[in-house]
Structure 1
Amino acid sequence: MFDPTATETLPCGGMGAVTSQPTRPAARRRRASHSLESVLTEAVAILDDGGGSALTFRALAARLGGGVGSIYWYVSSRDELLDRAADFAMADVVTAIEPVATDDPIDDIRTIAIATFDAIVDRPWLGAYLMRDTVVQTNSLQIYEKIGQNVMRLGLTPREAFHATSAVVGFVIGTAADMGQELPEAVLSGELDRDIYLARAAQQWRDLDPDQFPFIHYIVEEFAVHQDVEQFCAGLELILAGLKLQAAG
């Protein structure tokens, strides 16, 4: 259940060095004085501060101290800039999960999924751009590959492995993006804290017609006290339990 006031995160994630290569410039383009890493570092900073709408070539050039034209040395469009910035933000996850290798593939999938979730949940903009273009998003592709390699260890068919890996990745990215949505202004301003905001939302659910919303009334007391990270972990365990059953069959 989406909780727009959630602030819990898991202890992993962050920004690191980019692993992808800059786009080849046109023949007459003069080389910029900054680097792809500096471009993406500032792009991520803008996205962290203001979300996807805040990242423009003009805003980025102002932070870099150069002209808008210099950015085109590294990216050909705003979409490519967003894709590369999102991938850049996942570099530390790739480093963190590289040594993950135990005797239990389910445990390894869990570890990688939690590390990926943690990197996304604190950045409301990030989930919308991950895995959009795996040609340039090499970090995202490596995370998908790492999960997939562990799914392969379960002995599933190619179709089953594809569906299973996609289910894990889709759940992680979708849930993290949902839980990381921008907080309501009343919470951001300090007018309301999380507990009060959640209590008000729960009361609105209690006030619904129980004949029309029997499920809402059935779970509303759980919603009133839930923690988002606990909810994410419970959902992940359901997926992993299904993988175990499929592998055993």
Structure 2
Amino acid sequence: MTERLATGPGAIYWHVANKGELLAAATDAVVAAALAVEPAESPDSPPQDRIRAVALGLFDAIDEHPWVAAQLSASSWQATAPRILESIGRQVRALGVPEGSWFTVTSVLVQYILGAAGQNAANARALAPGADRGEYLGAVSRAWAELDPDDYSFTRTVADQMREHDDRAEFLAGITLVLAGITAVHPTGRIDS
């Protein structure tokens, strides 16, 4: 960054105290941009569409900037976590979830979003530079298909599905499952597909 700004590496520390503060500020900026994403339909979309938009914004931001996942894990309960909690929590409230359940329901959504996005980023980092994702998933799928049928009957059965899966679509399916669970437990909220 200092090269693009034509400054020395120490100049940035005029504005921040240390590397940790710099990473926190960068994380906050990435998350703020992700939370500003609006649903494709309209700003007046139902809360579940807004939750999906925020979730995908965070998923895509962490996919593009994998270091954000580690930074959120290391220091998330400082400045950035309240932003995420507020963004999701407002939509949980709009779903009609009773106030006594707001924290739990919001926490479950946030944990799923950050956990799944972080795991996706970790999986992407695990690939060797320049590796082909399709080839990698094919190799894993073949290895799963060759597992002992008595010990891994389920894993063998889904091996082909894993080979062809789309990380983003699977992530959204998880959001839909969590939202369906919220509606089942708190039926006053309505989930639109």
- Residues of 2 paired with 1:101 and 1:142: CA distance? 20
Task: Identify which of 111, 128, 145 aligns with 1:206.
Answer: 145
Displacement of 1:95: 3.2
1:184 is matched with 127
Q: What residue ranges of structure 1 are gaps of 5+ in the alignment?
A: 1-41, 43-59
CA RMSD after TM alignment: 2.7
Which residue identity does 2:119 align to in structure 1?
D
Residue 121 of structure 2 is aligned to residue 172 of structure 1 = no
Residue 91 of structure 2 is aligned to residue 150 of structure 1 = yes
Q: Percent identity?
A: 31
Aligned partner of residue 36 in structure 2, secondary structure: helix
**What TM-score, normalized to structure 1?**
0.64
- Residues of 2 paired with 1:96 and 1:227: CA distance? 21
Task: Identify which of 78, 86, 101 aligns with 2:27.
Answer: 86
1:163 is matched with 104
- Residues of 1 paired with 2:38 and 2:162: CA distance? 32
Q: What residue ranges of structure 2 are gaps of 5+ in the alignment?
A: 189-193
Runs (4+) of structure 1 moved beyond 6 Å? none
2:51 is matched with 109
After superposition, residues 1-249 of structure 1 pair within 5 angstroms as 42=1, 65-66=7-8, 68=10, 70-97=11-38, 100-102=43-45, 104-130=46-72, 132-137=75-80, 141-181=82-122, 182-185=125-128, 188-189=129-130, 193-248=132-187
Greater Rg by CA: 1
Structure 2 vs 1, CA of residues 73 and 61 (structure 1 numbering), >3 Å: closer, same or farther? Answer: farther
- Residues of 2 paired with 1:235 and 1:223: CA distance? 15
Indicate if the aligned counterparts of 1:87 and 1:130 stay in contact, CA closer than 8 A: no
Higher helix share: 2
Q: Which moved more, 1:84-93 or 1:150-159?
A: 150-159
**What TM-score, normalized to structure 2?**
0.80
Which fold has the larger relative contact order, with Cα–Cα distance below 8 Å and residues 6 or more apart in sequence? 1
